[in-house]
Structure 1
Amino acid sequence: MSGSAAPRFVVAPPQWSAEEYPTLPGSPAKLKHSVRRRVAYCLVAILVGLTGGLGNGLVVANLQAIQGQLGLTTVEAAWLPAVYYMFNMTANLLVFKFRQQFGLRLFAELGLGIYAALAVLHVFVHTFEISLLVRAASGLTAAAATSLGSLYMIQVLPRQKVFSAFIVGMSLSSMAVPLAWVLSPWLVDVSPWPSLYAFEAGLALCCLAAVMLFKLPVGMQVHVFERLDFVTFLLVAPAIALLCAVLVQGVNVWWFDTPWLAWALAGSLLLFALAAVVEWSRQTPLIRLRWLLHPSTLGFALGALVMRFMVSEQSYGAVGLLRMLGMQSDQLQPLYGVILVGMVLGTTLSALLFARERVLWMILISIALISVGGWIDWNSTSLVRPHDFFFSQFLMSVAAALFIGPILISGMVQAISKGYDHIITFVVLFSVTQSLGGVLGPALLGTYQAQRTELYLQAIAAEMPASSAQVAQRLQSQQQAYARVLTDPALQKQAGNAQLAQIVKREAGVRAYNDVFLLIGLMTFSFLGYAVLRQAWLYYQAKVHPIITRTFVYKKIHT
């Protein structure tokens, strides 16, 4: 490790050959395996990687059903995915060092064991408190499962294909979200809603059995934990939790109407500041703030956050519009099947085409695909159905899978060039940008959509005066529609007015979602233009500018 003393081994490592030596402390050795063993490792990687995100995906896909079964309010139901993100982001603070000192296998077995036990308990005890505990355990387990899936996949492919294996392993948890939407209608149709709890518990138990049966090769374990690491963790963990709470609940309770949001945000900033004070003065910090605050690192973080934010058009924009129009999970199933195919294709292309010199082009292509998808969804109407979004969301899913691998590996290589002790900072940075982008996207886009809906409601109401003949005719037709079931004219009029108001609100919502699509399209187009111009400027400085400078200096010397 650059700039640090020789590592203190927890256990003396075996005598590995140069080909078998682990890439990093905490990573397993790269041994030669039989074809049967490689197939087993591949299956375990897929199982563990998908399980890491499938539990939360099932909750998000069936949040309305959970809310109804447990008798929750909208605010209470929103805490379920919020708790998952809280624990998932905070777990990444310690999971890398834990795997370096104790091995990732121990962390995975502990996490999967707790997750499986709580999930099994949830099959028999249907309470809101148990649901929160299961989501917390799911978030902790997902942090280890994502890394574990990558490490298992690395054992499958040759050493020269380690980056491709890493891309596939890291992408598995992202594929779990559309897979959850594809599976949910079938699971609910087979048996009552608690079957989803049993399915989640079964997956956790299968993962625990697979990890214990097909163990990873022994890795290099070194002493890395320090007492102040836990002080930093105890400050940053609640800071992240408070920030997640603000972002998730801001739209539900509204930003300016709920005082506790301001107190939570202030508390989050204070805890982050205290953690920064602790880390800044440490010789071997848990988070290397000086590197984190470097312009190149901040640029990487901003780019990764913006990319994740733009992909939110898929989870919030198109799906949100369809659900507002009354589409249920079984009707959205084909759309998510297309999204899943797109993510598989994007991951495959990313793994096959990845090379250091192609990273920029792969990212630019991803931004272009997101931009095209946003423009295609613009000008939607209340008559759109899931099949109208097949092509645009396919492009979005390909783009989401195409950029994640290159941007992750390029950032990791940049961190390793500064020293292996910078990797934990990068892991935290990347996980926070992706998880925070996933929460920030719906929060900001939801706020924008709500405000635009109110503006369109006012605009439509202004264009529909009660004295208008068209409005009177529409109200009369609405009242006649209820004449067969309501004999009282007053009730007919009341029901007709309510029905017309509902139609107006629907049309205002559709226009607001079109504004969301337009906003995403403009953002991606601007981001793409900035990236192209910046690369052109760097090319000019590297190729053209030195030639002009050398020519000018040569003429000056010889005159």
Structure 2
Amino acid sequence: MIPEAEFVGYNPIKTDPPAPAAPVRMHPLRSAAYIGASTLLSMTQGLGMNLIATNIQQIQGYLGATNTETTWLVAAYMAPNVSLSIALIKIRNQYGLRNFAQLSLAIFVLVSLLHLVVTDLQSAIIIRFVSGIAAAPLSSLAFLYALEAFPPSRKLTIAVCIVLTNISLASPLARLLSPTLLDIGQWGGLYTFEISLALIAFGVIYLLPLTPIPRAKVIEKLDIVSYLLIAVGFGCTAVTLVTGRLYWWFEAPWLGMLLAVAVTTITAAVIIELNREKPLLDIRWIASKEVVHFAGTILLFRLVVSEQSTVANNFFQNLGLLNDQISMIYIVSMIAMVVAGLSCAAVMTPERVPAIHAVALILLIVGSYMDSQSTNLTRPAQMYASQACIAAATALFLPPAMSVGLSSALKRGPNYILSFIIVFLATQSLGGLFGQAVFGTFITMREKFHSNILAESIVLSDPLVVQRITQLTGGYSRLITDSALLNAEGIALLSQQTTREANILAYNDAFLLIAGISLFALIILLTHVSLRAILRSREPSLAVQTS
């Protein structure tokens, strides 16, 4: 049985605390309130991050900026957000949970209010940076409120499934709500809704305090130095991943400089932490075989589930469809996530983790391969089944992985919870950005490849090409009387169609690549499970021979 106190924090004064008393069972209504608070916090953080990222094209007109310039809003938000969880856990242990929760939400509300008076890009970038700092605690709070609602025996099953499903729901929910919010008040409509959620969450935090923990002075001077180095390194990495494919990796020298700074600062932080008695991060444990395996698994999965959060949505945007025209696909995805999350909570045990992961990977393979057969006639209705498979895979994969990792950390002692949470949150944040950068770059390169292939076959001496140009200019013949201009217009329209088809082929390649990566991961998983089963079956016979 896992003590409840270990999930909330640990007493840094006593290295060997006495055995905790049996936890008091929470009233069902109060437990439901804590689950609701966890859901609200998850949505507040997730929508705050995704409402801007999913509406870059709509916001750029309001701010008078280009698409590339507006993307800096996402980079500014993620730069501090990806690393702040490292500092916040120790801050929580020193200053208390309730104060920590109320202060973070108050700052989040004040920063959100500033968005309502912003009309230029530079000010918006600064405010988004502060907003990324203020929103960083909300994911951790969502975990803590979910864990608070359940007895120790269900913390690693139902609680973990609920909070991770809620976090996954934020992205499709943001795309579903965005058209209505933009109609109400454009830029202001997005942030009015965000402020409303934050204010409700502030009241919920005040009415439903978390279990207090003993406070102690655990922050040291070198903790600050190490965190600042890690924050700079993670922040530079996040900015590079968000903007790299837009400015292009080999065209902007400052991208290389950011990566060089990231490598230098993270290396310096690792050297400092390896030579401390009480490090902020246990680097040796993080570099152990079990944790590297866990981080690699989560990172790989975050890479392949970019299909739903980025690739599929960009595919429809390339066809000229906006969020309000593909809203039904988000509803289908959310229903699939909820069903899969509840199913995972019902069946999840440590022994079933490989089987659940295998089912998730199979769903990813099937869904991605179905999407790889898309054409310019594909519409959201043709992707309901495939996107449902991918959404279900997202909800199925993460809870077992986190449960196993958290159990491994707890076996080594409560001190390792900090390092584990950092590994998980870092792989989630940076893994998501890495997946978007990889597939965005891959799609750009494949689009250029297919454009060249298609352009080579377009020759004006070909009768079929001439016929196609004539068909395209048919609607303009009454408006453009000059035959040369009319022919030029036809060639331009044909070029647009060629670019569209090249993009569709590039997205199909990306879908197929995701299916291939998922298949490779499934083969590795099945091989690993088979080898473990073979070794276990030989252990009794070896024991008999030895005796």
Q: TM-score, normalised by structure 1?
A: 0.91
**Is 1:19 matched up with 2:30?**
no
Match of 2:53 among 46, 52, 60: 60
Match of 1:46 among 39, 46, 49: 39
Query: Which residues of 2 match residues 153-192 of structure 1 at below 5 A?
Result: 153-163=146-156, 164-192=158-186
Partner of 1:496: 490
- Kept in 1, the 8 Å contact 2:111–2:131? The answer is no
Letter in 2 for 1:248: V
User: Could you tell me how far 1:35 is from its partner in structure 2?
Assistant: 4.1
Secondary structure of 1:236's partner?
helix
**Is 1:322 matched up with 2:327?**
no
Taking the aligned partners of 1:488 and 1:502, their CA distance within structure 2 comes to 21
**Identity over aligned pairs, percent:** 33
**Is 1:113 matched up with 2:106?**
yes
Query: Which residues of 2 match residues 141-220 of structure 1 at below 5 A?
Result: 141-163=134-156, 164-220=158-214
Taking the aligned partners of 1:33 and 1:361, their CA distance within structure 2 comes to 32
Partner of 1:302: 296
**Is 1:8 matched up with 2:34?**
no
Secondary structure of 1:81's partner?
helix
Match of 1:69 among 41, 62, 82: 62
Taking the aligned partners of 2:19 and 2:526, their CA distance within structure 1 comes to 45
Taking the aligned partners of 1:6 and 1:109, their CA distance within structure 2 comes to 22
- The 1:193/1:297 distance shift into structure 2, 3 A limit, reads closer
Partner of 1:90: 83
- Kept in 2, the 8 Å contact 1:236–1:271? The answer is yes
Partner of 1:467: 461
Secondary structure of 2:71's partner?
helix
User: Could you tell me how far 1:518 is from its partner in structure 2?
Assistant: 0.9
- The 1:513/1:552 distance shift into structure 2, 3 A limit, reads same
Match of 1:408 among 402, 408, 418: 402
- The 1:32/1:6 distance shift into structure 2, 3 A limit, reads closer
Taking the aligned partners of 2:174 and 2:91, their CA distance within structure 1 comes to 30
- Kept in 2, the 8 Å contact 1:104–1:148? The answer is no
Secondary structure of 1:257's partner?
coil
Taking the aligned partners of 2:20 and 2:254, their CA distance within structure 1 comes to 58
- The 1:222/1:361 distance shift into structure 2, 3 A limit, reads farther
Which runs of no fewer than 5 residues in structure 2 stay unpaired?
none
Q: Deviations over 1:220-274 (max 9, x none)?
A: 3333222111110110101111111111111101111111111111111011111
Partner of 1:436: 430
Partner of 1:479: 473
Taking the aligned partners of 1:156 and 1:275, their CA distance within structure 2 comes to 36
Taking the aligned partners of 1:540 and 1:38, their CA distance within structure 2 comes to 44
Match of 2:128 among 116, 131, 135: 135
**Is 1:419 matched up with 2:424?**
no
Partner of 2:95: 102
Partner of 1:23: none
**Is 1:447 matched up with 2:441?**
yes
Letter in 1 for 2:499: K
- Kept in 2, the 8 Å contact 1:147–1:170? The answer is no
Query: Which residues of 2 match residues 202-241 of structure 1 at below 5 A?
Result: 202-241=196-235
Match of 2:391 among 391, 394, 397: 397
Partner of 1:257: 251
Q: Deviations over 1:288-311 (max 9, x none)?
A: 111111222212111110011010
Taking the aligned partners of 2:528 and 2:152, their CA distance within structure 1 comes to 34
- Kept in 2, the 8 Å contact 1:104–1:144? The answer is no
- The 1:377/1:284 distance shift into structure 2, 3 A limit, reads same
Partner of 1:28: none
Partner of 1:339: 333
Partner of 1:37: 30
Secondary structure of 1:282's partner?
coil
- Kept in 2, the 8 Å contact 1:50–1:173? The answer is yes
Taking the aligned partners of 2:360 and 2:455, their CA distance within structure 1 comes to 41
User: Could you tell me how far 1:548 is from its partner in structure 2?
Assistant: 5.0
Partner of 1:281: 275
- The 1:444/1:152 distance shift into structure 2, 3 A limit, reads same
User: Could you tell me how far 1:125 is from its partner in structure 2?
Assistant: 2.6
- The 1:326/1:306 distance shift into structure 2, 3 A limit, reads same
User: Could you tell me how far 1:33 is from its partner in structure 2?
Assistant: 4.0
Letter in 2 for 1:123: L
Taking the aligned partners of 1:458 and 1:513, their CA distance within structure 2 comes to 16
**Is 1:387 matched up with 2:381?**
yes
Taking the aligned partners of 1:393 and 1:6, their CA distance within structure 2 comes to 45
- The 1:17/1:179 distance shift into structure 2, 3 A limit, reads same
Which runs of no fewer than 5 residues in structure 1 stay unpaired?
21-30, 555-559
Taking the aligned partners of 1:344 and 1:204, their CA distance within structure 2 comes to 23
Letter in 1 for 2:386: S
Say how many residue pairs are matched.
537
- Kept in 1, the 8 Å contact 2:443–2:510? The answer is yes
Match of 2:284 among 278, 282, 290: 290
Taking the aligned partners of 1:442 and 1:89, their CA distance within structure 2 comes to 15
Letter in 2 for 1:506: R
Taking the aligned partners of 1:129 and 1:449, their CA distance within structure 2 comes to 30
Match of 2:353 among 359, 370, 378: 359
Letter in 2 for 1:177: S
Taking the aligned partners of 2:311 and 2:214, their CA distance within structure 1 comes to 45
